[in-house]
Structure 1
Amino acid sequence: MSTPQYAAWTWTPGAGLDGLNLAHLPLPMPGSDEVLVANTAIALNPVDWKMIDWGRDDWQLGQVPGVDGVGIVIAAGSAVNLRIGSRVAYHQALSRGGSFAEYTLLDAHALYPVPDALDDTTAASLPCPGLTAWQALDKLPACHNRDVLVTGAGGAVGYLLAQLAVQRGLRVWVTAAPKHREHLLQLGIAGVFDYRDAQWPEQLRAALGPRRLHGVFDTVSGSHAASLAPLLGYNGHLVCIQDRQESAPLPTFSTAISLHEVALNSIHAHGDALDWQVLRQAAASLMCSVADGRLQAPAKQFFDFAELPDALRRLKSGQGNGKWITRLPVPAVIA
């Protein structure tokens, strides 16, 4: 009897997005602590095209990329206490076979139940940007009525982070393209600055008056984050969501700021059981908040699974508005 196969996009070393090939692979069976998920929705993230372009030391020819997906559990290992047919979302480790496939093999502890009120495509849009935003905000000590800046609030991470910060009781300022301005203000953002205007930092200083920022959340780059450090006040926090600070951006014993890096993927290699418990609780909270309308998910635009490389090219070039999502059919054995 032949082994069942499934369709997956696979990676070619050194070939970038042009080297993605639609292949048919043998369907794996889960180990004792694993589950096999039939994907029903797959979301694209910037980390996907970056890893495909850059490669990783632990990737070989035939690696399946992709970190975010939603699907149905169709098989589970002997140590897994999860019902077959459960609907789950996940953020897959970069080192493992990813979500750009009809099926994905995952560690059971890396799954997040999806609320009944949340559709598959919306749920798929949340794990990577939502949990990254949550981890970034969690770097700040609990505080209220302080000023923070979120750069890139037109993107999924910045959009969700800005909303979470408002809900925490912070006074939130953001940078974004002008087309996002009115919508962001409706979400309770204190002010929106056009990042293409070289004078926006001065405009922010004028809006703050005598106050200084308590936190800066940067989604651009390490060098960009360093350039924003002078906006922070005493004991402020510089949170890098892209890159990290290899050296202190300000003189010693000046404003005494704290430096933070955010690395969601690192939990797969370095997180313990308690770390995963906290992350699953955060994922559940994010999804419930979207399901009941307290949190708005990023806008979505759809593409066909067969056109995945082209959708990644569009994401890389900044085309479109919102999360790129593809739908796959629910497996016949479950439907």
Structure 2
Amino acid sequence: MNTPVHDYAAWTWTPGNGLDGLTLARLPVPTPGPDEVLVANTAIALNPVDWKMIDWGRDDWQPGQVPGVDGVGIVIAVGSEVNLRAGARVAYHQALSRGGSFAEYSVLRARAVYPVPDALDDATAASLPCPGLTAAQALDKLPACDHRDVLVTGAGGAVGYLLAQLALQRGLRVWVTASAKHREHLLQLGVAGVFDYRDGHWPQHLLEALGPRRLHGIFDTISGSHAASLAPLLGYNGHLVCIQDRLESAPLPAFSTAVSLHEVALNSIHAHGERLDWQVLHAAAARLMQGVADGQLQAPAKQFFEFSELPDALRRLKSGDGGGKWISRLPAPMVMA
């Protein structure tokens, strides 16, 4: 028989100490506010933004902040304004300013959770929100088009991997950069060509493969400076989409190829999103998870770790050790007091 729960385990942040400052603490189980839900986490996923925020800190973080943006779990309690039943299985992307997923329980705004299809396991569902919704938002920066050429950098990572597939489903001709170990798998997905980013001549090889065509879009997952360096590869009225950074100034002379610059900031919806923005995001999440459940979309590969080993898993993610998404599975929720 389950024992009622009064407190729970959570990894908490210490300012200035980076990953070494993560501490496993016991916190009292909170009561959700009117527009919130309390979720008992059954799977949590690591993302690069997690170790970056832990290393860098945030102005709105206090000592004891629980990091982590992605998770899946069971709704245990709901606020008075929430039209969601207790017992529902949900995935979520948490706002960076709120208590995160590196815990047995998380409190979220109800608008930030998404139903999980029955055919999708918890670990796979947890691997999707941050990279998948980022990829979907990046692709939406391009106007509706098909049969145009686009480049996705870093397709060996979760965002680039999902973005390449979504672009293919939209009817785009997709070229990618990735390490050599990902080449064959990416080609099997249907991308037009894979270029090893370690080869300093890969942009020239891409131009040769394109022939008379030019790129209509570039999705860069590396950095703002890296994105700027790729701008000359774009054709007339092309689109340069920065996923990892943003460009503060135009990378090309005015009135030349007339490229458009875009930034992607998934976390910003928590502060600036309106009802329609959330409806669009919910629809994207539903398509993403159902696409994986139906086998139309492949989720990133997974590596599993114990919840007690979370700081070490973050170190390995930061160092680039292994590949795929780092996932921790937690026990089924206990009965609340």
Fold conserved (TM > 0.5)? Answer: yes
> Would you say the 8 A contact 2:5–2:334 is kept in 1?
no
Alpha-carbon distance in structure 1 between the residues aligned to 2:102 and 2:144: 38
Q: Which residue does 2:63 correspond to in 1?
A: 61
Alpha-carbon distance in structure 1 between the residues aligned to 2:28 and 2:299: 35
1:80 matched to 2:92? The reply is no
Q: Determine which of 172, 175, 193 is the counterpart of 2:174.
A: 172
Q: Which residue does 1:7 correspond to in 2?
A: 9
Q: Which residue does 2:247 correspond to in 1?
A: 245
Q: Which residue does 1:148 correspond to in 2?
A: 150
Alpha-carbon distance in structure 2 between the residues aligned to 1:283 and 1:158: 17
1:181 matched to 2:176? The reply is no
Q: Which residue does 1:96 correspond to in 2?
A: 98
> Would you say the 8 A contact 1:234–1:257 is kept in 2?
yes
Q: Determine which of 128, 133, 136 is the counterpart of 2:135.
A: 133
Alpha-carbon distance in structure 1 between the residues aligned to 2:167 and 2:313: 30
| 3-state SS of 1:216 partner | strand
Q: Which residue does 2:290 correspond to in 1?
A: 288
| 3-state SS of 1:245 partner | coil
Q: Determine which of 12, 15, 33 is the counterpart of 1:31.
A: 33
| 3-state SS of 1:277 partner | helix
Amino acid at match of 2:267: N
Amino acid at match of 1:39: N
TM-score (structure 2 length as normaliser): 0.98
> Would you say the 8 A contact 1:91–1:128 is kept in 2?
yes
Q: Which residue does 2:112 correspond to in 1?
A: 110
1:309 matched to 2:317? The reply is no
Q: CA deviation at 1:4?
A: 1.2
Amino acid at match of 1:92: Q
Alpha-carbon distance in structure 1 between the residues aligned to 2:83 and 2:200: 54
Alpha-carbon distance in structure 1 between the residues aligned to 2:115 and 2:186: 29
Q: CA deviation at 1:49?
A: 0.1
Superposition RMSD in Å: 1.0
> Would you say the 8 A contact 2:5–2:335 is kept in 1?
no
Q: How does 1:196-275 map to 2 (within 5 A)?
A: 196-275=198-277
Alpha-carbon distance in structure 2 between the residues aligned to 1:46 and 1:297: 17
Amino acid at match of 2:251: P
Structure 1 unmatched ranges of 5 or more:
none
Alpha-carbon distance in structure 2 between the residues aligned to 1:332 and 1:103: 11
Amino acid at match of 1:225: A
Structure 2 unmatched ranges of 5 or more:
none
> Would you say the 8 A contact 1:38–1:73 is kept in 2?
yes
Q: Determine which of 44, 47, 50 is the counterpart of 2:49.
A: 47
Alignment size in residue pairs: 333
| 3-state SS of 1:227 partner | helix
> Would you say the 8 A contact 1:6–1:102 is kept in 2?
yes
Amino acid at match of 1:72: I
> Would you say the 8 A contact 1:3–1:26 is kept in 2?
no
The runs of at least 4 consecutive aligned structure 1 residues that moved more than 4 Å come to: none
TM-score (structure 1 length as normaliser): 0.98
Amino acid at match of 2:250: A
Q: For residues 105-130 of structure 1, give each alpha carbon's deviation from its aligned partner in whole angstroms, at most 9, with x where no partner exists.
A: 00001110000000000000000000
Q: Which residue does 1:327 correspond to in 2?
A: 329
Percent identical: 83
Q: CA deviation at 1:332?
A: 3.3
Q: CA deviation at 1:3?
A: 8.6
> Would you say the 8 A contact 2:38–2:108 is kept in 1?
yes
Alpha-carbon distance in structure 1 between the residues aligned to 2:283 and 2:169: 17
Amino acid at match of 1:295: L
Q: Which residue does 1:17 correspond to in 2?
A: 19
